[in-house]
Structures are given as structure tokens and as C-alpha cells.
Structure 1
Amino acid sequence: MKEEQNMPQIVEFPERPYVGVRGTITMTTFGLVADRIGEMVGWLADRGHAPAGAPFLRYEAINLPEDRLVVQAGVPVGVPVGGPVEGEGDIFAASLPAGRYATESHHGHPDQLFGVIEALLQWGAEQGLAWDITEKDGTEHWGCRLELFRTDPRAEPDMHNWDTDLQFRIV
């Protein structure tokens, strides 16, 4: 049975602080960055902070023909009473930019996201949206392109039951 697809939405988001790590990876080495989410959650807990939302991957640069991506793994943080969280080592503190984002939700295995991403990009083209993206030498440089992981893999190990949100910033 084919699952019903939601229609993409356009949502206005404020600036959102987070801690993250960055890496240059290939399509088969995502774990080098993504697997550090748990480490960052623990790092925050050690400092008395809890995540303020779903962890995410932020795509900065994508060059599929050369199989090279610059990706961040991030964990949102609230602004604590003592001020913002400071980075340490290769964990840095930053903020996702405020603005309008095209959003789409996906229920299922992350391997199925490619089709959902293609559909969102196509929908944006049909709506006449301009993405926050520049292209140089075959590489897409995104202002803010996110995959947010709403399912805790410790609570739901079956990846076919995971929920992922896409948020692509609009110019």
C-alpha cells in the first residue's frame, strides 16, 4: 500500500541556536558526522543542557558527481540562563538562520529520502520558489538545508518507522 504524501508547507522559523560538528564526507561515509549526534547530546548533558529539538544534518555543500558533501550534524539548544552554550574542540556553537523554509515530512527508512527531496525540489520549482543556494564548479552551496530526525533510534530501532523532516531555506 502506498503511503499518502503530505503536501509541503512554507514555515517561518526564527534563528535557532545549536551545537554542531562538520565534516567532508561521501554518500557512504555519513556516519563519520551523523554518528556524533549522540556524543553531542551527552556533551550537552554533561554541561547541564538538554536538546531543544530534533537533532539534524545540515548540508552546506553537495557535489554528487564527485561524491563529496560538506555536512554538519547538529543538536538544537535553548539559551540557558547563564547565556549561550560555547563550543569546545571540534564541537562549535552556531545558529540556523531565520527565514522562510519549505518543509516536508517523511515516515520511513532514511534511504527513501532521496525521492522525498526530489519531490520537494520539484514542488518548489512549480511554486516558483528560489532556494537559498548558489552553485560553483558543480557544487551546490546551501544557505540552510536540513534533515531533522524526530525519532530516537534508541526508542525505535526499526528505521522503517522513523520520522524525518526536511527544511530547505527559501531566499
Structure 2
Amino acid sequence: MPTIVDRNEQRYVGYRATVGPDGMAEVAHRIAAIIGALAQRGLEPACAPFFRYLVLGTDRETVTVEAGVPVKEPLDLGDEYFNDVLPAGKYAQATHHGAPSGLFAATADLLAWGEKEGVRWDRTVEADGEHWAARLEIYRTNPQFEPDANNWDTDLCFRLAG
């Protein structure tokens, strides 16, 4: 059952791309690259890495997404990467336990719950698609410690309007 939670703003290092379904794996690999770059500097992520969905294309074939790794301080990792801050606020949160292949259904369930509850998402609809302030998949399980994807936990956190 989803809950409404308050989230503080969170600084992160990210990588952004607009991709089709085939490009998501490349974006996901950037999480490991960022974590590796942090390790080379003797740093660890401030908390769990995430995907941030910014624009869901009107064609439903493209998405502008960020791979993000929370950090305590801004960090220069080169031109491909940037520093940003996830906005504070109220979020609807639900946890998906299982393989990433189940995230599509878990997302649909969270959106349906929001519809039923009269939730207003922090999003706008524009000519090129849905623009979200913060629609997150937060990857709570480290695959290095738990290789069985059926045991992974992913938090879906979607920012509410207002």
C-alpha cells in the first residue's frame, strides 16, 4: 500500500539521456560508473542510487531519464555528468520487491492508487510529453551483495503537487 512521505532535498551527481526502451541499460550502467568514480576519490554514495524520469514522450517510445547517485557535496566527474538536487516535498511512495521487470506494473499500480485517492502529481503535460518534477525509482538493493533480482527492493517515489 502506498504511503505519503516527506523527503528532504537530496544532492546528487547524474547522467541524463533521452532514450527508447533499448537505451535504458546504457543509462543504468552510468550508476556503476558514477559509483566507481566516487570510489576512486575515496567517497561513497550518500544513499541509494536512482533513476529520475523527467519526460515521458508523447509517443510512449522515448523517455528523458537520469541515472543519479546521491552525494554529500557537489563533485566534478567530467562533462557527461552534472550536479543537481532532488526537490524536497511530499511524495507518494511504494516499494516493489522483486526483479526490475515488475517495475512497470508497480508503477501502474502507484498511478492507479493516486487516481483513486485524488492525488495531484507534480507534473505538467506539454506537447512533447509528461514532464515530472521528481518521479523516482530508488534502488535499495546492491546487486553486488544480493545477485538474485527476485530479492531486490525498489522504492517508487513520485512528488506530489503543492
TM-score for the superposition, normalised by structure 2: 0.93
Rounded Cα–Cα distance in structure 1 between residues aligned with 2:90 and 2:53: 17
Q: Which amino acid aligns with 2:97?
A: H
- Quote the offset at 1:46 in angstroms: 1.9
Q: Which residue number corresponds to residue 34 of structure 1? A: 28
Runs ≥4 in structure 1, deviation > 4 angstroms? none
CA RMSD of aligned residues (A): 1.4
Aligned length: 161
Give me the whole-angstrom Cα distance separating, in 2, the residues matched to 1:103 and 1:118: 13
The one-letter amino acid of 2:40's match is D
The answer on 1:121 being equivalent to 2:115 is no
Separation (CA, whole Å) in 1 of partners of 2:39 and 2:58: 36
What SS does the corresponding residue of 1:49 show, helix, strand or coil?
A: coil
Which runs of no fewer than 5 residues in structure 2 stay unpaired?
Answer: none
- Tell me if structure 1 keeps the 8 A contact 2:123–2:130: yes
Query: For residue 12 of structure 2, what is the aligned residue in structure 1?
Result: 18
Which letter maps to 1:54? A
2-structure distance, mates of 1:119, 1:31: 23
CA contact (8 A) 2:140 2:153 kept: yes
Structure number with higher helix proportion: 2
- Identical-pair percentage: 46
Q: Amino acid of the residue matched to residue 70 of structure 1?
A: T
Q: CA deviation at 1:135?
A: 0.9
Gaps of 5+ in 1: 1-6
Amino acid at match of 2:86: L
> What one-letter code is carried by the residue in structure 1 that aligns with 2:149?
M
Moved more, 131-140 or 13-22: 131-140
